[in-house]
Amino acid sequence: MKKSILFAVIMMCILVATGGDLFAQRTAIRIEALTPHSLETMGFESANGAGNTTSGLPVVGKGTWVYLSGWDVSSDEFLPGADYLWELTARPANSAAILDSTTMQWTSLHTDSAGTYTVKLTIGGKDTSINIIAANYIGADRNNVGGGAFNCLTCHNGATPEIVSKWSGSGHAMMWENGLNNVWGDHWGPSCWGCHTVGYNEFANNGGFDDVAQALGFVDTEWTPWRAGLYDSLLTTPQAKLSMVAGIGCENCHGPKNPAHAGAGTQPKSMDFLLCAQCHDEPWRHNKVSEFENSVHAEAVWSGSFDSDGANPVTEYGLSTCIRCHDGAGFVAFTKGEPFDNRISSGYGELTHTKINCQTCHDPHDASLRVAPAASDTLGNGYDYSAFNFGKGKICVNCHKYRRDAETYVLGRLSSHFGPHHRGAADVILGQNGYTFGQTLTNSIGHRLVDDLCVGCHMSATADTGTVARDKIGGHSWTQKYVEGGVEYDNITKCVECHTGITKFSDIVAGFDYDMDGTTEPFQMEVEGLLEMVELGLPPFGSTDIDFALIEADPDSARMKAVYYNYAYVKEDNSKGAHNPKYIIGLLQVTLSNLTGVDFSGHEPVPSEYILTQNYPNPFNPTTTMKVGMAKGGEVTVEVFNVLGARVATLMEGTYPPGVYQVTWDGKDVSGKDAAGGIYIYRMKTAEFSSVKKMILLK
């Protein structure tokens, strides 16, 4: 506890230094979920070995250590208090439990007996109490070997059969079974069982896996080597009842059966990702939690617009309903079509707000991705994308889409919040909802072909497990770029499938100098250059500090707002055009043309297919021009032949990035002499494409 005590002392000093009205305090107690890694990091001793992880639930296995923290919540924020007084005001009759600390921000309690423990905390004269229930595990008989013994499925087979069905065949339920059947390999064994079974705690007798194994006489060495079919063999022996607590069951996530549990709401649930982290937080091998903690999702975003002083809970989940995407539990309610109570009068606020985490995206019963109602498959402009195949990325676009309709929104008043909203990747990928000034823009097709789209790129596994970027890009970090010590690490796992030879995003060079600064740069830098041109063209003009008031006051405010909307559309997407290169280049160019009158003809976006155009003029003398479109980067040659098949000239040869190139023939042959008049053949050839056309040279 030494490090936790030091942490509490430091935090209390911070509060004292900042001042505050102690008598206005309200007090809150948090039951902390702690993982093996977090316990080690915080310096807690492993008081009871494999059983020291804690779920953060108010119902725990008998013999579990429970860690508590106290907070001043008078300002609707979690802040350390100026003084603490912890008291254990009630405990089971045969318990000798005491609180580890009575005056620090954190304390702990060993639930040495079954029953209810009441903990009281006073901060600044304001107190609160919570009950912690210690109980025994009963298991879940998914293999029907219990002989009528009461277990979770005794009721839930009838009460929630769809949940039981999901769980029974899930990886969680079959975790220990798969180990016995050698799915996990020979390295699997008792050291894994703390996470692969129910209630495993060698220092407590609470009906957990280790207790049942001992009572049944199960000895792991008598069942080795692990092999296929071994679990089914176990089910035919007197030790079959071990299966009721083998695997990850109901009580791993909901705690052991509360003696008072007899209906909905009487067994705890949690939206804290640390509940999952009890097992998924061992960074050297189970690193999903480490990845998640490096994600933006892990940063809980709170706004006063999330709660409501209205009379009713949320039942309609339109794009303007904040908690649909900004509250983890709110998103779950949205997918289920259930009401979500965000009323201040019901106690909803920053303290009860949940971040976007494991349980938000995954149904814990089978780890499947949640599915939103089909009626929500629309963008802010009403575009229905239900027929578009996002794959696993479909769950991402439920929130990662802009909530405005560009055509009507730009007619409204401007404010500091003006814009399409945030992170509208779905709109960009689909080439929708930018303000196009009546123009039809072209879309890139290649990036749409990535399997599972958002998931395929952002969650692709990275090979840099030995570098400082491990857990910081790819996977459940969803991050594509990480910089440390001036070194940039990019998640290019998917990119290299088409952009061969690159080692970082900046190796993907644009096909043209789109921002017309005289240099053809990496594609994303070209997009940044165009964005800066828009900034400089908006009031106060010539500065990148855009002034909203000046835009509103401008005589041509309607056009200025449309321009700023497109600027925010590209900026807030945060992919610098990568989600739909051609559409973003086209949108910025048409925006700048309407803002400044700049002519972008000749600055064409990357084509969706290979192109060889007919030369112009044709017939010609002495020069003619044709365009070559490269849908992908790679080697290309463009050559001229006479009617006998002899090569006359080579117009283009080498490796080129994607883009459209203008090629000119000056009517001279390979020796530099004027070619004779007549019919000539010109051919474009790549590894995937070949095209031949005729032209006539006049003399």
- What are φ and ψ of residue 580, in 5° steps? -165, 80
Asked if pLDDT for residue 297 goes beyond 50, the answer is yes
Q: Distance (Å, rounded) from C-alpha 285 to C-alpha 313? A: 42
**Residue range 95-152, pLDDT digits in tens:** 999 999 999 999 999 999 999 999 999 998 899 999 999 999 999 999 999 998 999 9
**Contact predicate 651/672, CB 8 Å:** no
pTM for this structure? 0.80
Cα of 504 vs its chain's centroid, Å: 22
What percent of the chain is predicted at pLDDT more than 90? 68
Tell me which of 13-27, 256-270, 452-466, 565-579 is least confident.
Answer: 13-27
- pLDDT number for residue 13: 32
| Predicted confidence (pLDDT) at residue 557 exceeds the cutoff of 50 | yes
The CATH code that applies to domain 611-697 is: 2.60.40.1930
Mean pLDDT for the chain overall = 89
Quick check: 479 pLDDT over 90?
Answer: yes
* Under 8 Å between Cβ of 241 and 216: yes
Helix or strand run (H / E) with residue 589: helix 581-596
CA triplet 167, 171, 174: central angle to 5 degrees? 85
| Average pLDDT for 446-452 | 91
Q: What is the pLDDT of residues 149-199, one digit of tens each?
A: 999 999 999 999 999 999 999 999 999 999 999 999 999 999 899 999 999
Residues sharing a CB contact under 8 Å with residue 140, sequence separation 6 or more, in sequence order = 151, 152, 153, 156, 167, 198, 244, 249, 250, 251
Residue 34 has pLDDT above 50, yes or no: yes
pLDDT beyond 60 at 25 = no
pLDDT at 197: 96
CATH code for the part of the protein at 2-135 = 2.60.40.1080
Residue 582 scores a pLDDT above 70: yes
Element (H, E) at 108: strand 106-110
Cβ proximity of 563 and 550 under 8 Å: no
Q: What's the CA gap between 158 and 240, in Å, rounded?
A: 23
* Tokens 């001229």, residue located: 640
Which H or E run contains 165? Answer: helix 161-168
pLDDT value of residue 50: 46
What is the DSSP-derived secondary structure letter of residue 621?
Answer: S
How far is the C-alpha of 673 from the C-alpha of 134, rounded, in Å?
A: 96
Please report the pLDDT score of residue 22 as a whole number: 36
- What is the pLDDT confidence band of residue 44, given thresholds at 50, 70 and 90? low
Tell me: pLDDT of 268 over 80: yes
154 three-class SS: helix
What does the pLDDT average to over 55-59?
A: 93
d(CA 24, CA 329): 30
Between CA 56 and CA 68 the distance in angstroms is: 9
Predicted pLDDT of residue 16:
30
* Amino acid at the residue 243: S
φ, ψ (nearest 5 deg) of residue 40: -65, -45
Count, residues in the chain: 699
- Mode of pairing for the β-strands spanning 59-61 and 126-135: parallel
Report the share of the chain in percent with pLDDT over 70. 93
Judge if 2-135 and 611-697 fold alike in CATH terms.
yes
| Alpha-carbon gap, residue 490 to 502, rounded angstroms | 10
* Distance between first and last Cα of the chain: 94
Helical spans, DSSP H, in 547-692 = 548-553, 557-573, 581-596
Q: Is 339 helix (H, G, I), strand (E, B) or coil?
A: coil
Which among 269, 267, 211 has a CA at the least distance from the CA of 242? 211
Under DSSP, the state recorded for 506 is G
Pairing outcome for strands 624-630 and 659-665: antiparallel
User: What confidence score (pLDDT) does residue 19 get?
Assistant: 34
Domain-wise residue ranges, the chain: 2-135, 152-255, 400-596, 611-697
* Token pair of 609 as six digits: 């297919």
Per-residue model confidence (pLDDT) at position 465: 58
pLDDT value of position 605: 63
Looking at mean pLDDT, say which of 269-273, 379-383, 631-635 comes out highest: 379-383
Query: Hey, is 60 helix, strand or coil?
Result: strand
Greater pLDDT, 123 or 6: 123
Which pLDDT band holds residue 542 (cuts at 50, 70, 90)? Answer: confident
Distance CA 36, CA 277 (A): 9
Nearest to 338 by CA among 372, 361, 368, 300: 372
Distances (CA, A) of 592 to 529, 547, 553, 559, 586: 12, 18, 20, 11, 10
Q: What is the pLDDT of residue 285?
A: 78
Element (H, E) at 194: helix 193-196
Average of per-residue pLDDT across 218-225: 95
Count of CB atoms within 10 A of residue 577's CB?
26
- Amino acid 463: pLDDT: 64
Residue 688 contacts residue 658 (beta carbons within 8 Å) = no
- pLDDT at residue number 351: 80
* Residues sharing a CB contact under 8 Å with residue 494, sequence separation 6 or more, in sequence order: 450, 456, 457, 460
Q: Is 242 helix (H, G, I), strand (E, B) or coil?
A: helix
Predicted confidence band at 464 (pLDDT cuts at 50, 70, 90)?
A: low
The dihedral sign for the CA sequence 184, 190, 192, 196: positive
Per-residue pLDDT, 352: 87
Query: Omega of the bond prior to 619 within 30 degrees of 0, cis?
Result: yes
Buried b (16+ CB within 10 A) or exposed e, 290-324: bbbbbbebbeeebeeebbbeeeeebeebebebbbb
Q: Are 328 and 354 in contact (CB under 8 A)?
A: yes
Q: For residue 54, is pLDDT > 80?
A: yes
- What residues have CB less than 8 Å from 634, skipping those under 6 apart? 500, 655, 656, 686, 687, 688
Q: Dihedrals φ, ψ of 472, to 5°?
A: -105, -15
